[in-house]
Amino acid sequence: MDDTEAAKNTATTGPTFASPLFSFSNLGGASFGSGFGFKSSAPLPPAIEVQLCEESPVPAARLEPVVVDDSLTIYKGRVSTSDVFGVKDSDLVPGKYEGGLKLWEGSLDLVKALNSDIKEDKFHLEGKRVLELGCGHGLPGIFAGLKGADLIHFQDFNAEVLRCLTIPNVKVNLFKDSPEGTCTCPIVGFFAGDWSEMDKLLLCGDAEQDKTASGDTEGKMCNGYDIILMAETVYAVSCLPNLYRLIKKCLRYPGGVVYMAGKKHYFGVGGGTRQFLRLVEKDGAMHPERLNDVADGSSNVREVWKFSFK
C-alpha cells in the first residue's frame, strides 16, 4: 500500500498534529551523501542528533490510518517536498532529499512481516533495543514501540524529514498517557546523517571484538541493538558497503537480527535486495533468510529478508 492507497482508507475523524513550515538549510550547492550513491568532493555534513522537541511547524494535517490488523492501527502524517524542501513533489533530489517523505511499499511489507512473526511466536519485541535505518515515516520503528520495545532509535539522511514527519508520527502513536496518568512510551532517539558517519552516535555492538574474544559469551553484557529494521534502503549499489558496515558495527553480537524489506531490483539506480544479499554472502559473517515475496502489482517484485550473525 502506498500513499494513494492509504488515503483511500483515511478516517473522516482522527488525531491531528502540527508540523512546522520549514526552510531547507543552506547547503551551499554541495551534492553530499556518498553513502547514498551520490559522489561529491564536498565534505559530508556531520551526523547529528535531532531532539524530540525540534518538531517543525507546518499547517496541521489530518493523520491517515494504516491498518496493520484488526487490533492495531498506526497513524501517519503527510508532508510534501514543496513544503519542506521547496521543490516540486519528488522521490529523490540528489544530495538534498533521499525520499523520506514518501511512504514506500517496503515499509508496510516490513511491518506486516514483523506482525506475522510475532503472531506465530517466532519473534518478540518486548524489552528490545531497536534501530530503524532510513526511517522516513518511521512506521516499523513505531510498530516496535507499540509492541513493547524499550528503546527505539530512528535514523534518516535528512534532519528535516525527522523534524517534519518522523517525530510527529512518533508522538501521536507512542506518546500516550495511560489511564493512571503515567506515560508508557519507550525511550526514543532521532539521528540524521550519512551512514558512513552514523556509528559515532548510535549504539555499537562490537561484533568483531566479540567474535575474537575467547571463552563463553553466554551471560556476557552485550552492546548494540537487538533488532535493526530497514525498508527500501538498498536502492543504490554504491551505498550498500556503508550500510552493511554500519549494520555490523551496530548490531548486538551474538543474537542480534536485521529485518530488511525492499524491491528485488531498483531500475535506473542499480541496487536491490539481491545486490545487498550478494554483499552479505560474499562477506560471510551473517546468515540470510528470505521471509516473503510480494508481487501485488503496485511496484516491481519486493522481498522481506532476515539476517543474523553466524
| E strands in the chain | 16-19, 48-50, 58-62, 64-69, 72-76, 129-133, 151-156, 187-192, 227-231, 257-263, 286-294, 302-309
Cell of 126: 518486548
State residue 268's pLDDT score: 77
- 25 domain residue, yes or no: no
The CATH number that applies at residue 94 is: 3.40.50.150
Residue 5 lies in a domain: no
Q: How many domains does the chain have?
A: 1
- Other beta carbons less than 10 A from residue 294's beta carbon: 20
Per-residue pLDDT of 136-174, as tens digits, reads: 999 999 999 999 999 999 999 989 889 989 999 999 999
pLDDT in tens, 254-272: 999 999 999 999 887 789 9
Domain span at residue 143 reads 48-205+221-309
Specify the pLDDT at position 122: 93
Residues in the chain: 310
Q: How many Cα atoms occupy the beta-carbon half-sphere of 244 within 13 Å?
A: 23
Write out residues in the chain with pLDDT < 50, as ranges.
1-14, 16-40, 60, 100, 181, 212-221
Output the pLDDT for position 229.
98
In this prediction, residue 189 carries a pLDDT of: 97
DSSP 28-56: TT----GGGT---SSPPPPPEEE-GGGPP
Strand-pairing partners, residue 129, are 151
CA max distance for the chain:
60
pTM of the model: 0.80
- Flag whether 300 is in a domain: yes
d(CA 134, CA 165): 13
Q: Note the pLDDT tens digit of each residue in 92-120.
A: 555 555 554 667 789 999 999 999 999 99
Q: Which three cell numbers stand for residue 90?
A: 519528488
